[in-house]
Amino acid sequence: MPSPRSSTLLLASAATLFVAVGCNPGPSRTAPRKGKGTVTLRSGMRIKAGSRREYSRRDPRGNGRSQKIVEVRLAADWRDPRSGMVFKGGSLYKTESSGGIIEFTLAQPYREKRNRFLVGAGTPVTYYAKDAARSIPVGEDYLFKTGMSARAGTRILYHPNGRIRQLTLARNWKYNRRGLICKAGTQAEFNSKSQIVRCTPASDYIIKLPGTNMSMKCPANQELKF
């Protein structure tokens, strides 16, 4: 039975890259070159004057800890000279105390160099914490090594442990040897152990009832929950 775990690791490198090239808008990095209603940081990033705020929140991974968040709103598009990523003007840019970016929006799609995954523009990319992706927009259809695919214009959602929680399939996907084929254009959902919990079969699927010699036919195109 193929597991989406290896697929998740492909995108994890993209998440790591975003964190590595990010700019922490903390006070130690600001250069108070003030324009009309803006403040320019040493990195060249321009933020809206008065938009910077700090606050604490409960860690969304459920570990009982708190996170210190620094949030700014970009005044204009900003290109990171190290990565080439262009962050969208007017969008929120959030970092946590460790320096990792936890939310940003791209002005242009960005192709991750190692795995060729295209991150979509115009909607936020979010993280639970540094190196822990939460929601990534898909810029174009992407095929994982497992044969599973993600459809352009949708999102890949993650569990806090880094495994895929939900995505929309770009192609039919044969999940197991017992003939379950998940239908293209529908959502596949997994638990934190990468076991499938919801999908829509592309064809009739026979389930053997546990503890019995009986089986049940699940018709095609009707959502199936495990």
Supply the pLDDT for residue 93.
96
pLDDT digits (tens, 9 = 90+) for 136-156: 999 999 999 989 999 999 999
Supply the pLDDT for residue 64.
80
Question: Does residue 214 belong to any structural domain of this protein?
Answer: no
Question: Does residue 62 belong to any structural domain of this protein?
Answer: yes
- CA 89/CA 129 separation, integer angstroms: 23
Total domain count, the chain = 1
Question: Does residue 90 belong to any structural domain of this protein?
Answer: yes
Supply the pLDDT for residue 201.
95
Backbone angles phi, psi at 106, to 5 degrees: -85, 145
Question: Does residue 99 belong to any structural domain of this protein?
Answer: yes
Question: Does residue 67 belong to any structural domain of this protein?
Answer: yes
Q: pTM of the entire structure? A: 0.81
Supply the pLDDT for residue 162.
92
Domain ranges, residue 85: 5-167
Q: Which residues of the chain have pLDDT under 70?
A: 1-36, 177
